[in-house]
A and B are shown apart, each in its own frame.
Chain A
Amino acid sequence: MDIATQTETAPPPPPVTTEQKRASRGATRPGDRIFLGLSRGSGILLLVIMAAIAAFLTYRAGLALADNTGNFLTTFEWDANAIPPKFGIAVLAFGTVVSSIIALVIAVPVAVGIALFISHYAPRKLAAPIAYVIDLLAAVPSIVYGLWGALVVAPNLTGLYSWLDSVLGWTGIFSYQGGAPRSLMTVGILLAIMILPIITNVSREVFLQAPKMHEEAALALGATRWEVIRMSVIPFGRSGIISASMLGLGRALGETIAVATVLSPNFLIGASLLDPGGGTFAQNIASKFNEASEYGRDALIASGLVLFLITLLVNGAARMIIARRKEYSGANA
């Protein structure tokens, strides 16, 4: 009781001024203030760059769209150099989405398999070198993938495509006329190889975080290794796999030069995935840039803005899923 009354009668602490707050943080010295300013400034600079990208692209895209005589979303043409210009992104959107989906369908199961291989199957001593091999796959520049895809992979795919045509050709999707298969399917296969490392790395991290106790409990109950993975690792890692796939999707959507090298583009939406033709946002920019007039460049910037917004959405969503569950990022992947 005595103590309680004493504390009650004690004078209230003086209000803390901002000056004192700052002093307690230890940022009063000029050196500290300069350093804090510099580092905070560069953080802000990054935000400014992101905002500037959006702003400048929107401004130039607006210039192009104002004079467009076609419908930007539905026109099946790209005559941006003509007077009056007429262009639309329908074909590009179709090609981008289709090739990315093919890439994801191929890459996600394989990447999850490799991630499981590294985290649960491979002998301990081999896990690190194998992860390094997968990292090497990420280090290869996209232009080299493009060269390899166009001159090595594509010629070797004719056999597979003829076979697909003879078996599934009646669907229309898999019909193949012969000739160099510089098609959306080939692009999808190449993109799958290119996005494999990022999906693998992110899922591997998540699998390694799966609670050991769950796995041991399942093993103790007599589960086989596969049952352990199916019952405790995969359910835990599901959101990780989803966000990893979305990061991979972001890469696939924006891949430029490998697609531009492999695809033989046209401005039609064909039913067949195996026949050459189609285009993607990034590929179209790279292929059309050299002969674009100043106005044509603005039109390409408009399509680039669409690409920017799509990848922003996909990546943002993926990062939010990751951030919600764990403090982990695959930026080093």
Chain B
Amino acid sequence: MSTTAPTAQAVTPDTLRAPRLPRWASPLVALGSAAAAVGVGLGTGLHSRVQWGLIAALLFVVASYVLATVVEGKRQAKDRFATSMVWMTFLLAVIPLASLIWETVERGSKVFSPYFLSHSMGVVADREVGGGINHAIIGTLQQVALASLIAVPIGLLTAIYLVEYGRGKLAKAVTFFVDVMTGIPSIVAGLFVLSFWILILGFDFSGWAGAMALSILMMPVVVRSTEEMLKLVPNELREASLALGVPKWRTILKVVLPTAIGGITTGVMLAVARIAGETAPVLLLVWVNPFINTNPFDGAQGSLPLYIYQQYAAGSEASYDRAWAAALALIGFIMILNLVARGIARWKAPKTGR
């Protein structure tokens, strides 16, 4: 090693570093390409701001690539290119989310009011203005509650089985099929309940039928999230409890579950948020009812996602407004569930003790 020392000494330390672009180069290029894009956009009369953005992005990528090739060399230029592409993909994903939320809030707030929340569509034709989503809210809440009543106990117990008892082939099969079940299209769950509950057993369309299909969609989500949470509970807690002579089932109920309850609640709420927006099974099983029906076991009901679909299909200006307002209500409901769920997760995060 020491033989190379003389040559290294001959070179001044400054030239050992490859030339780099200064830190302010990137922002400057970004600013320049943005200005150029605005210029091009105004010059050629492009109306769409999206096109302006695309031109700016393209200019930025090309300019920084060329600049880096000249100053820093090919490898660094490639690295810069990759970095800007990765940033671009992220911005690309934010655009639809921002647009969707913006449009929903803007168009939805037109008819969104206490009146809209407290009235049904019973006597309002699709082309008229007025009416509301009260019947749909009642329907959705009842269907989701019923679905949770079925899915949460089964999901919890299955997760407990997989984590606390599960050995051997049965547990492996259950794990695999829970994974596969998360991928079942919601319309297939709807068709299943349709075929056995309505076509074979001959029951009528009802909120309960929809709830059954929703529970099929909900179960695997509950199982998976509960499983993850139970795995986080430290084994020392179980061992300490068992060593005191506490039966296993009481250990699970009194030690394991309370430790993980925050995460489990979060998982359940996220699962509820997911099924609350499902339209397909509701479309097949609950049918349509513009009137308020508070009995989910008897006859057709309303439902929020289904209401949006129908108002959209009605195709008049007034019904589009109602569809957007209902979408606003639905997104609001789901986002609140999401936020609360994540709040609980943070507040009651299990202490792993590791």
A-side residues, CB < 8 A to B, are: 26-27, 29, 31-32, 34-36, 38-47, 49-50, 52-53, 56-57, 59-60, 109-114, 116-117, 121-122, 130, 132-137, 139-148, 150-152, 156, 159, 193, 196, 200, 224-227, 229, 247, 250-251, 253-257, 260-261, 282, 285-286, 289, 294, 297-298, 300-301, 304, 307-308, 311-312, 314-316, 318-319, 323, 329, 331-332
A332 & B177 in contact (Cβ 8 Å cutoff): no
B86 & A141 in contact (Cβ 8 Å cutoff): no
A40 & B161 in contact (Cβ 8 Å cutoff): yes
B185 at the interface (CB under 8 A from A): yes
B100 & A148 in contact (Cβ 8 Å cutoff): yes
B224 & A256 in contact (Cβ 8 Å cutoff): no
The 5 A-B residue pairs whose C-beta atoms are closest, nearest first, are: A254-B185, A141-B277, A113-B89, A315-B183, A331-B224
Number of A-B residue pairs, CB cutoff 8 Å, is: 285
Indicate the size class of the contact surface on chain B. Answer: 35 or more
B-side residues, CB < 8 A to A, are: 48, 50, 75-76, 78-79, 81-83, 85-90, 92-94, 96-97, 99-100, 103-104, 153-155, 157-158, 160-162, 164-166, 170-171, 173-174, 176-189, 191-192, 194-196, 199-200, 216, 219-221, 223-225, 228, 242, 247-250, 252, 267, 270, 273-274, 276-280, 283-284, 305, 308-309, 312, 320, 323-324, 327, 330-331, 334-335, 338, 342
A254 & B188 in contact (Cβ 8 Å cutoff): yes
B224 & A329 in contact (Cβ 8 Å cutoff): yes
Write out the residue numbers on chain B whose beta carbons fall within 8 Å of the beta carbon of A225. 79, 82-83
Contact of A42 among B76, B161, B186 (CB under 8 A): B161
CB B51 to nearest CB in A, in angstroms, measures 8
Contact of B170 among A44, A122, A297 (CB under 8 A): A44
B174 & A53 in contact (Cβ 8 Å cutoff): no
CB A63 to nearest CB in B, in angstroms, measures 9
CB A59 to nearest CB in B, in angstroms, measures 7
**For B186, B191, B274, B309, which residue has the most chain A Cβ atoms within 10 angstroms?**
B191
**For B82, B183, B273, which residue has the most chain A Cβ atoms within 10 angstroms?**
B183
**For B166, B187, B194, B276, which residue has the most chain A Cβ atoms within 10 angstroms?**
B187
CB A56 to nearest CB in B, in angstroms, measures 4
CB A55 to nearest CB in B, in angstroms, measures 9
Contact of A141 among B81, B248, B283, B331 (CB under 8 A): B331
A311 & B228 in contact (Cβ 8 Å cutoff): no
Task: Tell whether A315 pairs with B179 under 8 Å between CB atoms, given A44-B170, A121-B83.
Answer: yes
Write out the residue numbers on chain A whose beta carbons fall within 8 Å of the beta carbon of B87. 117, 121
